[in-house]
Chains A and B, each alone.
Chain A
Amino acid sequence: MPKEYFPRGTSLARASVCLLAAFFLSQSAVAANSLPGLGRVPDDAELATLTKHVFADGRGLPQGSGDSEQGEEIYASLCAACHGSEGQGGSAMELVGDRSLLGTEYPDRGIAVYWPYAPTLFEYIKRAMPPDKPYSLSDDELYSVIARLLELNNLIDSGQRVDAAVLSSLQMPNKDNFRSGYIETDRGR
């Protein structure tokens, strides 16, 4: 059943109220260019509830650590179904690839091939994976999965523990193959 709405006609009384309002509005003429100032200043506790962005240099990475042994278990139960048991051949984006194929007609992607910074793996996996339950992995579990992924990509020694310091100092092999399409000098304001 549709909702119905019947507007009332404007009465003489209402019209005069409008006229009065217009008169007073003109008396308190709005200051030119005044900012509304309706934002609330949050305290540090409120800001701390925001998810910390993890920058390319590792700023924002949390405490904690993990290893590939635990990571392998998590990967097998949560990731392998879509990404393949070894990071290849699944329905989702490949995580392991052959870097020598870059520049050919059929390049691979994958973490060592195309991901330029290791720390940003953390925020992405935390917020997006697994797709049916993002945010479900603890920080230690995230470090463990990343350890497994880096091991599959031959970027760390087998069994090496991974934490903020390891991710921040890891040089990803394809980093220098990226350039910016945005003109940096155009950046000022």
Chain B
Amino acid sequence: MKKSYARFTRRKFIQKGASGVAGVLAAGTLPGSAPAGSETPASWQVPGSGFSNYGQPRNARGSPIRWISADRSVAGAGVSWTPLHDLEGIITPNGLHFERHHNGVPDIDPDTWKLTIYGQVDKPLVFDLNALHRYPMTSKIAFIECGGNSNSLWHSNPSQAPAGYVHGLVSCSEWTGVPLSLLLEEAGLKPDALWLVADGLDAAGVTVSIPIKKVMDDTLVALYQNGEPVRPENGYPARLLVPGWEGIVNVKWLHSFQLSDRPLMSRFDTVSYTDLLKDGKAERFTFEMGIKSLITSPSPGQSLSEPGFHELRGLAWTGNGLVARVEVSADGGKTWNEATLQEPVLDKALTRFRAPWHWDGTKAILKSRAYDSLGQVQPEREVLLGNKGSNVYYHYNAIISWSVDSDGSIHHIYA
């Protein structure tokens, strides 16, 4: 029924299309019609291309892309960076959300997928995907940042890669799904259910321990990313969103939740994603991502075409709430001006800032410095390294500096 309806309409469309083309061909010969001149946009003179079931960027070359850095011997272990330097606004397109996989993207059959809750609960529960989709949902626009984002800046030579390919293990999406607190309420938490041990279906057995307070506060079992089902590389069919906390606890390809009186102390809790400090001690469970910002335009790899007006554009974010203020400097931090925060400014989301700048054509050093709603301020690099040493590997959030040379070229410097 539906099929024949579609066929009928398509035939009609084709017929109409054909007569339309004939009309265009004939137009030049009709009395009184002006010939198409050289100033007439070419696209006015020919029909455009047709529809597509799923839109793609304009073309593969020249479109923003993720930059991949994978293990030589394990192709699915590594990262791909979001091209922050090529993007605007605060929402990351789904195809450009950063990836961090420990052993590739699993192929999961939604029909047999299930999520199990067990351990210190009154009754264990299993949810299939259809059941989960019937639960009350909510959305949160939130960033996810890998704990290891910007980690090359712990080293002594400033990377000259484009900004996104150094700092782009952070992305921001509208995540929609079921509050995990709702599922746990149904299972019934026992009094000693103090930690949630979550694991994923990937071939690296990623398993993490999350304190129950955060789980009950605002953790989401996310099913949608910017309106469409979560992408395979971002955890299809369901992933955790733990707003503001380091990427690793936002477990992808969810498999199970074990409620426990203690953390698991898995490899991902202790050996990785712990911060090695200068005294040789290590801090684990450093979940919250710190206050951070960078200027995405102009930035290394780009250049200023000429002196005059340029808008400084950047991103700021913090794992503990709202970005309250961003300051920018064009003289290496001697003087600072307040940037404009673009609405919306959202809790635990990327915040876009802008500041007008007139470049006089001489050497300049651009910096941005963010403050959050708790009054925390982004530290200078020497302060961060002075406090923690240079082997932390995770949680790099120092002020980032770009030098602008008189020829307009831009480089990353420590200043």
Contact = CB atoms under 8 A, between A and B. Distances in A.
Interface of A: 2-6, 35-42, 46-47, 50-51, 53-56, 81-82, 91-92, 102-105, 107, 109, 114-117, 120, 123-124, 126-128, 131-132, 134, 177-182, 186-189
B116 A50 contact: yes
B309 to A, nearest CB: 44
A25 B140 CA distance: 29
Given A38-B131, A55-B264, A103-B278, A2 B73 contact: no
Contacts of A114: 271, 282
Contacts of A3: 53
Contacts of A40: 125-128, 131
Contact of A81 (B73, B102, B134, B256): B73
B43 interface: no
B103 interface: yes
Contacts of B135: 36, 38
Given A35-B186, A53-B264, A46 B280 contact: no
Contacts of A186: 211, 213
A177 B280 contact: yes
B360 interface: no
A178 B118 contact: no
Interface stretch (B199-207, B295-303, B404-412): B199-207
Interface string B212-256: 110010000000000000000000000000000000000000001
Contact of B285 (A55, A115, A180): A180
B203 A187 contact: no
Contacts of A92: 71, 73-74
A103 B280 contact: yes
A174 to B, nearest CB: 8
Contacts of B189: 189
B200 to A, nearest CB: 10
A35 B134 CA distance: 11
A134 B103 contact: yes
Given A114-B282, A131-B203, A187-B212, A42 B124 contact: yes
Contacts of A180: 283-285
Interface residues of B, number: 72
Nearest to A3: B53
B211 A126 contact: no
Contacts of A124: 205, 266-267
A39 B131 contact: yes
B207 A123 contact: yes
Query: Which 10 residue pairs of A and B lie closest in terms of their CB atoms, listed nearest first?
Result: A127-B205, A103-B280, A39-B125, A181-B286, A102-B280, A182-B285, A56-B265, A38-B131, A124-B267, A181-B283
Given A42-B126, A128-B103, A181-B275, A53 B207 contact: yes
A188 B194 CA distance: 7
**Residue in B125, B132, B205 whose Cβ sees the most chain A Cβ within 10 Å:** B205
Contact of B203 (A38, A39, A134, A179): A134
A38 B127 contact: yes
B10 A4 contact: yes
B6 to A, nearest CB: 6
A54 B9 CA distance: 61
B320 interface: no
Interface in B162-198: 182-183, 185-187, 189, 194, 197
B378 interface: no
8 contacts: A35-B185, A41-B125, A54-B264, A55-B265, A115-B270, A124-B266, A178-B270, A182-B285
B301 to A, nearest CB: 29
A187 B281 contact: no
A6 B9 CA distance: 9
Contact of B258 (A35, A53, A116): A53
Nearest to B282: A178
B117 A39 contact: yes
Contacts of B134: 36, 38
